[in-house]
Structure formats: structure tokens, C-alpha cells
Amino acid sequence: MSTRTWDDYLLTAVNLVILVFLVAPVVIIVVQAFNAGLFLQFPLQGFSTRWFEKFFKTAAFMEALRTSFTLAAWTVALATTLGTMAALVLARVRFRGADFLNSLMLSPLMLPGILTGLALFQFYIVIGWGRTFPGLVLAHTVITMPYVMRTVAAMLATFDRSLEEAARNLGANEWRTFVEITLPMIKPGIIAGGVFAFIVSFDQFPVSLFLVQPGIVTLPIEIFNYLRYDFDPAVAAAASISVILTVAVVLVVDRLIGLHRFARL
């Protein structure tokens, strides 16, 4: 191994600057949330929790937070159920067209969200639904299901099927084998997929943009509407809270199943 020379240090120095660029906005959000002034100005104006108070006292933000949570909960429930069922069939049953159906069901990952949003909005108008909460849930399910399918498929790829055969030989029926052998083995994949689904739904913007209406506005859309006309640090408080929530979800799940297993997904 060669010794470190000045160009190694130069590379490290350049990369540290790039890392600062990457991390700075995260730090800025937290600093702004606790900064007393209306604008984040140099030098800082002092410590304050007024923006958090404003966030919690603004009915629109609270309503949006509630909507986002309910929406994410429904989305996770539907996406994990349907996604797991689909992944099980596509990974195990050999039939012509399986590859095509797999690509089709993963395709929402590749398509710009704004197109999915517009197409669904037009479709909902045509079938007479308009902008409804169930419509929003189904839209979020379509775009989050691929994450569950991928994490569950990753578990199934390394699955030892002789365990299931052993259970069958010992007299367990198909359903019991599934509940007692298959399900526990793929559980980490389902949970990881659920976490992805939650995060994606909670942060979703372009699809929601077309489908929300007063009364069912999600938090990212509410924040966006605030930013379009106003520069309000209550947004920084809202952002800090959603960061804390996301990190909490990820940490709890990591404790439970170890997310590093899915780092490559």
C-alpha cells in the first residue's frame, strides 16, 4: 500500500467540503427552527421555541399532520398486504408472463410522479370520484407497493424452501406452513418494505399535488403552500418534527430487524 501524499489530503479536503454541502441543509433546518428571528440571518438572533409553538397552534398544520399520518397508515397496510402477496406469487410460481407482470408492477418506481398524479386525477374525474381520501390512499398504494415487492423478493431470493417441505412432511397443511414457516422468515422484508412505504407516502409530493383538496391536505403540500406565498420558520419546526419522526421510525425498525440487510436495495 502506498503512503499518503498531498493529493490524498487534497481529495479528503475536497470531499469534506462536499459533505458539508450535503449535510448543511439538515443542520440549517434545525437551527432555523430554534432561531428567534423571522429570517435565518447572520449573526443569529437568539434561541426561541416560538416557531414550534406556532406550528402546534396552527390548525392547518395539525390537520395536515393528521391527514398525512392516516394516509401513511392506510398506505402501509394496503401496500404491504398486496405487495407481499404479489411478490410471493411472482417469486415462486413459474408461468409465462411472470417477468412482464413483475416489470409492470415495479414500473411506478420509474415513472415521474407528476404523470402518475395527473393521470389519476383525470381518471378520478372521469369515473366521478373527484378528489377523495380513498382515491389518495389508492394512489399512494400504487407508488409504494413496488418497494414492498422488492424487499420481500429480496428475502425470498435467499429463502430455503426445504423448511417448508419439512413442515408439510410433518403434517402441517398449506396455510399452517405459510403462517408458521414462510411468514416469519419473510417478516423482515415485509417490515422493511412497510418502512419504505411509510417514508415515501409521508414525503410524497407530486402525486398528492393533484389529488388533495381542502380538508384532505397532506403535510408536504401544506408546507409547500406556505412557502409559495410566505416565508415562515414554523415550516422549519414542521420539518424538524417530520425529520425526528422519520429517524425514530427508521431507528425503531433497525433495532427490530436490522435495516443494513436492505442497504443495497
Partner 1 sequence: MRNAQPMVVASDFILDRVRGRSLTPLLPLLPGLLLMGFFFVLPLAAMLVLSVLTGSPLAGERVGFTLQHYGKALFDPFYIRNLYVTFKLGLLTTVATLVLGYPLAYQLARIRQPRTKTLWLILILSPMLVGLVNRTYAWMAILSDNGLINSALRWWGRTGGPVPLMYNELGVVIALVHIFLPFVVLTVSGVIATVDPALEEAARNLGANKWRAFRHVTLPLSMPGVLAGSLLVFSLAISSYVIPILMGGFKVITLPIQIYEQVAALLNFPLAAALSGVLLAISILIVWSYFRVMKQMGGPVGG
- Buried b vs exposed e over 198-235: b needs ≥16 C-beta within 10 Å? bbbbbebeebbbbbbeeebbbbbbbbeebeeeeebbbb
CB of 206 to partner 1, least distance (A): 5
Q: Let me know: does 88 contact 185? Beta carbons within 8 Å.
A: no
Quick one: 56 or 129, whose CB is closer to partner 1?
A: 129
In whole angstroms, give the CA distance from residue 136 to residue 117: 10
CB of 124 to partner 1, least distance (A): 8
CB of 154 to partner 1, least distance (A): 10
Quick one: 70 or 225, whose CB is closer to partner 1?
A: 225
Quick one: 52 or 210, whose CB is closer to partner 1?
A: 210
Q: Which three cell numbers stand for residue 238?
A: 414542521
Quick one: 155 or 238, whose CB is closer to partner 1?
A: 238
Cα four-point dihedral sign 18, 20, 23, 26: negative
CB of 265 to partner 1, least distance (A): 8
In whole angstroms, give the CA distance from residue 93 to residue 248: 37
Quick one: 191 or 199, whose CB is closer to partner 1?
A: 199
CB of 159 to partner 1, least distance (A): 16
CB of 78 to partner 1, least distance (A): 8
Q: Let me know: does 106 contact 147? Beta carbons within 8 Å.
A: no
Quick one: 83 or 194, whose CB is closer to partner 1?
A: 83
- Which residues are CB-neighbours of 105 under 8 A, at least 6 positions away? 86, 90, 145, 146, 149
Quick one: 62 or 109, whose CB is closer to partner 1?
A: 109
With CA atoms as reference, report the closest residue to 60 among 238, 231, 210. 238
CB of 188 to partner 1, least distance (A): 19
